[in-house]
Chains A and B, each alone.
Chain A
Amino acid sequence: MTDTAAPAIELKGISKAFGPVQANKDISIRVMPGTIHGIIGENGAGKSTLMSILYGFYKADAGEVWIHGKKTEIPDSQAAIAAGIGMVFQHFKLVQNFTVLENVILGAEDGPMLRPSLARARGVLKRLSEEYELSVDPDQLIENLSVGHQQRVEILKALYRQADILILDEPTGVLTPAEADHLFRILDNLRAEGKTIILITHKLREIMEITDTVSVMRRGEMTATVKTAETSPEQLAELMVGRKVLLRVDKAPAQPGASVLEIENLRHVDHHGVERLKGISLEVKAGEIVGIAGVAGNGQSELLEVLGGYADGTGTIRVNGAEIDLTGKHSDGQSRRARGIAHVPEDRQTEGLIMAYAAWENTVFGYHRDPHYQSGPLMNNALIKAEAQDKMTRYDVRPPNPNLAARNFSGGNQQKIVLAREIERDPDILLIGQPTRGVDIGAIEFIHQEIVRLRDKGKAILLVSVELDEILSLSDRIAVMFDGQIMGERLPAETDQTELGLLMAGVTERPDKPLIEAVDAQLDAKEAREAEQHG
């Protein structure tokens, strides 16, 4: 790489507005060929908009795109593909009931008949797989593949279209640490072959690990472009948020008390007849945060649902020594809350809030039958509103306007509304799922502090997160789930990402074979089992 070579991509003064919202303001950036260029920024900073413009999804209001030193118009995705740009979206754009091969050739067929295209693609795929460690069975249906493999298909799609510039949007959000490592090896190989890669992420660790150069975006503007080797996570976080941010969670050692939540041999079968919880036993003490680590879809959601009272289960759950009803009409969210179990669900938009309702209404759901909020046969709306106003101010919800519908708040502020509702009821137990998914760094700091504060008040907290960093920094004890079972418990001080990553893939002992093979073997076995169960 020399500075005299033409940049693979050069954006000059790109601006884009959606109505009154200026998503991109006069953005200029140069990405040199054969490098991995990170773009980092909070949600809503305009990263995705910028990349969508580059991929022809949106038309910029102003500005120019230069590819390999030539001014290029990109009115649609076809033009982007023709210019050698490939994109791996955060939500994969795959046809679930097509084979890998069919997905790869879709839109890039050689002629009106499929057979020759499929035959050629099979050969190309074989070559690409070997070249870049991108192995995937070409005849398998997408719906039978793990997310890691699905992502490989997306990369293969781009390479099949002869992309030499690859954009990846939040590629590791759904991957296990081992899968993420594998992805980074693939990206390394691609870089070595001279491909240019743009990596969009909000994870500082990934930026530091793999990129050559990093650009930071904030509120639609490009605030800095620096060489990765010459920066630090702290500096990047500050550039992203615009103020100093505490990246570590500041907490004293836990002082666990009596056992508050005891779970024994908990099982749950979903409506497809698949057993999602296969005998979970777990204990959470007062003044303790127990973190459940695991790749999404291994039963963590179901565990929260059964505990929260909106899925049936069998087994025993005791709260402060008293058993609770797991099925029947006394098993629902309200009765659980009455027993002191507060729940911040994983998906705040469908389970935590009613998006069309005002913030003040959302601050009492689940507790709305409390006599405190009643005034005769009616709801005491004035009181609820006043309390909502107070809660929103204390939890730093912006804007602190209780009359605004929930959907008008950003992800972080929505999460704060849910947290305020659940924590303010002073529960004995807090179930909290993906507390910071889609939440800005600044708000993450606040939410983590609140969780620790609640623990220090002697509450029992069960934390489920797919973010291993979050689990490691918040938990006092870590349980790892895989395939509906707890693979083991570890203390954060005595474990590391690698060990947890192996447990998350169902590997309980450090294997002799190379790590990635062991993990792949476990995941393949799980896929096969699931394919069988779905018939």
Chain B
Amino acid sequence: MDFATLLQVLDSTVRLATPLLLACLAGLFSERSGIFDIGLEGKMLAAAFASAAVAAMTGSVWVGLLAGIVASLFMSGIHGLASITFRGNQLISGVAINFLASGLTVLIAQDWFGQGGRTPSLMGGGRFEPITLPFAEALRGVPVLGPVYAELISGHSILVYVAFLMVPLSWFILYRTRFGLRLRAVGEAPEAVDTAGVSVIGLRFAAVAICGLLCGLAGAYLATGLQAGFVREMTAGRGYIALAALIFAKWRPWYALSACLLFGLLQAVALRYQNIDLGGITIPVQVMDALPYILTVVILAGFVGKAIPPRAGGEPYVKER
């Protein structure tokens, strides 16, 4: 593999890791507050559709992005209402959201656009265009660092940079602010938060809302950044891979970055090397496509070690005497 190929694979790793990272951080906020969210997938899907549809109709990707976030927040609201207010089972609520998003997006897309459940291809202002960072061209001549800067670091859409900036920001919020302290506490021991006179319900809704916001960004990026429009089931299990990455990362922001980059790399490799010829035996393309998912299972089963989820996770909070 030459240097240029390596750069291309890494470049595509960054793109593919972006939606995973946003969704993973979304799950991190939610689960750290004690609300397990298996509905990341559904929220991303809803956001992908809403952003693509609105961007197609208005021609503005920013309005599309806003619509994606609103759609995702709406789904979050359902999850919050079911699992926080009505103390329902968080897994069931999450699964319901996934089904809802999966069916509703295609149904509405067909009704609005009549293109077999897709949205029209987005062009021009309907997509997030790559941003060329300053001096990218000027520095291209510098050996090694030049191409790395020009190819790998520069030339992504704004949401990629947002996603990577979210990592230190999440870390800061969680570990350096009052809100973060309370958020982590409410996922570990809601009764401690409650007796300290802080609203458990308020904190959890805030966390679920942040989760919705980040899933909205992830979904919008899928439909308007990574690709040009919505197709059915376009999230393709990314919500679940993000959950796997979250466990792999032991619910920590910086680890989440590494985990998502790893899963992104697996996807990038699979995309790049569709048919590998091993002296007579050709590994079929399906195996390569399945590779990230297979490795997800292998990594989770074998290499995570002891991952302790937030102690109060999955349990609705009921005041006790």
Contacts and interface: CB of A to CB of B under 8 A. Distances in A.
Interface in B170-192: 175-182, 184-185, 188-189, 191-192
A8 interface: no
A423 B311 CA distance: 39
B321 A106 contact: no
Given A78-B197, A81-B197, A98 B185 contact: yes
Given A57-B319, A78-B197, A98-B185, A103 B192 contact: yes
B181 A87 contact: no
Contacts of A112: 177-179
B321 A49 contact: yes
Contact of A102 (B181, B311, B321): B181
Contacts of B196: 77, 81, 93, 106-108, 157
A109 B196 CA distance: 11
B137 interface: no
Nearest to B312: A95
A93 B195 contact: yes
Interface stretch (A113-121, A201-209, A261-269): A113-121
A224 B36 CA distance: 49
Q: Give the interface size bracket for A toward B.
A: 20 to 34
Interface size class of B (residues with CB under 8 A): 20 to 34
Interface string B246-280: 00000000000000000000000000000000000
A150 to B, nearest CB: 12
Interface in A150-188: 157
B193 interface: yes
A24 B321 CA distance: 14
A139 to B, nearest CB: 15
Contacts of B181: 102, 105-106, 109, 114
Contact of B195 (A49, A89, A96, A113): A89
Contacts of A113: 176-178
B111 interface: no
A76 interface: yes
Contact of B188 (A57, A87, A96, A115): A96
A48 interface: yes
A111 B177 CA distance: 9
A314 interface: no
A52 interface: yes
B176 A115 contact: yes
A94 interface: yes
Interface in B183-224: 184-185, 188-189, 191-198
Contacts of A94: 189, 192
A77 B167 CA distance: 35
A109 B178 contact: yes
Contacts of B319: 57
Interface string A68-110: 0000000011111100000101000111111000110111110
A81 B197 CA distance: 8
A211 B188 CA distance: 35
Contacts of B192: 93-95, 103, 106
Contact of A95 (B175, B176, B189, B198): B189
Contact of A57 (B184, B189, B198, B321): B321
Nearest to A81: B197
B321 to A, nearest CB: 5
Interface in B147-188: 175-182, 184-185, 188
Contacts of A76: 197
A96 B185 CA distance: 9
A79 B198 CA distance: 11
A310 B193 CA distance: 37
B197 A77 contact: yes
Nearest to A18: B321
Of B176, B194, B196, B198, most A-chain CB atoms within 10 Å: B196
Interface string A506-528: 00000000000000000000000
A80 B197 CA distance: 9
Contacts of B198: 78, 106-107
A338 B178 CA distance: 59
Choose among B175, B180, B194, B321 the residue with the greatest number of A CB atoms under 10 Å from its CB: B321
Contacts of A105: 181
B178 A117 contact: yes
A77 B193 CA distance: 10
B306 to A, nearest CB: 10
Interface-central residue, B176, B189, B193, B194, by most chain A CB under 10 Å: B189
A106 B180 CA distance: 10
B188 A114 contact: no
Contacts of A80: 197
Nearest to B321: A48
Nearest to B306: A535
A117 to B, nearest CB: 7
A96 B189 contact: yes
When A and B form their complex, which 4 residue pairs have the shortest distance between CB atoms, in order from nearest? Answer: A107-B196, A78-B197, A93-B192, A77-B197
Interface of A: 48-49, 52, 55, 57, 76-81, 87, 89, 93-98, 102-103, 105-109, 111-115, 117, 157
17 contacts: A52-B321, A57-B319, A77-B195, A77-B196, A81-B196, A89-B195, A93-B192, A97-B311, A98-B184, A98-B185, A102-B181, A106-B192, A107-B196, A107-B197, A111-B178, A112-B179, A114-B176
Given A93-B191, A97-B311, A106-B182, 5 more contacts: A49-B321, A81-B196, A95-B188, A112-B177, A114-B175
